[in-house]
Amino acid sequence: MSTTLQEEIPRPQRHYLDHAATTPVRESAMQAWVNATRMLDENPGNPAALHSGGRTARRMLDDARERVGAALGADLHEVVFTSGATEADALAVAGGARGARAADERRTGVLVSRIEHDAVGDQREVLEPDGFQWRLLPLDRNGVSVIDADAVHEGGSTTALASMSLVCSEIGTLQPVDVLVAALAGTAALVHTDAAQAVGCLDVDFHRLGVDLLSIGGHKIGAPVGTGALLVRRGLSLITDRPGGGQERKLRSGTPDVAGAVALAVALEETVAERSVTVAHLSALRDRLLAGLPARVTPTIPASVATTPAIVHLSLPTHHPEALLMAMDAAGVMVSAGSACHAGVTRPSQIVMEMGRDESAALGVLRVSMGAMTTETDVDALLGALPHSLAAARALDGRDAGRTRTMATPTSAGAHRSESEEIPA
């Protein structure tokens, strides 16, 4: 029997260092999902049904809801299951702002940090046409949001909602959510936080944080993709764009994913139970990584700034991070650039530019993100692959520079090409 092409090509050992994008499903969560699915197959029923199958599904869903709430310092009835943090963010920001304005028509301001995921940032296109005013908090050179407490409090009388992540998903900086909550104390402004990147390393307690809304995504903590939750403070009124059957506090209509909720609860409980061990493990790996960096590769965030140990953001002297990523992947190391690639065009990191860096610095970035299953071998593989991968990227930089110089020389007619005709580095 002939071998396939895939069998003929030797493949390197894989080293996954992109946990901020998604994390492998925990064995415990996978088994919980399988067991729940089998239970539902043997006892079929919609959680809204009154028969025994429906009651079984309802008990499983309520048990998962209670466990998620307990793990995050929330009450049973404050947990709304979603398809992930993206949906939870959108529902929190758009639904929360509209709910606040419905209670007080003067509340049309939405205050957002500049480090937010697009799930939050893109709500601007939804809310501004609806009459809301979008305001952005400044970012300092270290990637931390700056809060003028007096100004924020003064504007709180017309602020419907403020949103700030606990951890920046791109550069890993911890954000001053507590300061934002304190600044808006005494006003009716709602506060939302995206905790998707925080649950694995920070003590996330909904009531203690004092926020009104909190989002998590299951696939960032080892639950299946398509699972997540939004915590909604008791008594809070959101206006949803998902009317229908009235499930999930009438905020997210549709038959709930019972097995997914069960798997999310198991992954979350395990994440919280292992948190202290995980933080120590990731901190040691981060130190190992930083100590082994080659020349000219430096941390983007100074050591004096608080970050999650799970994310190490690096600055590199190249305009071609996509070439570096491809070379790293060929060596079996999976990481991300932290900048968006659309149709083969690499764009600079908007967050790095908001930090005051130029476009060149915002192009040459690399995000290394680790999880509980990351090993020293994974980190060593990255350090081993980084020098030659960077050399491959810098070869393209050199080619670009050569082409720019060629196009800038006089033509045979003695004329020079205009600056606008140069190929940018």
What amino acid positions are annotated as catalytic residues?
341
Residue type for 92, please?
A
Q: Dihedral (C-alpha) 334, 340, 345, 350: value to the nearest 10 degrees?
A: -130
Contact 216, 88 (CB under 8 A): yes
Name the token pair of 346: 């690499």
Cβ atoms < 10 Å from Cβ of 312 = 27
The answer to whether 163 and 109 are in contact (CB under 8 A) is no
For 329, the token pair is 């992947």
- Any bridge partners for residue 314, and if so which? 299, 366
Angle of helix 27-42 relative to helix 52-71, nearest 10 degrees, comes to 160
What's phi and psi for 80, nearest 5 deg? -115, 120
How large is the C-alpha radius of gyration of the chain? 24
Query: What is the residue whose two structure tokens read 């104390």?
Result: 185
CA of 318: how far to CAs of 6, 164, 391, 394, 416, in Å? Answer: 32, 31, 9, 6, 27
Phi–psi pair at 159, nearest 5 degrees = -90, 125
User: Is residue 146 within 8 Å of 138, Cβ to Cβ?
Assistant: yes
Using CA atoms, how far apart are residues 164 and 195, in angstroms rounded to an integer? 9
Q: Which amino acid is at 33?
A: W
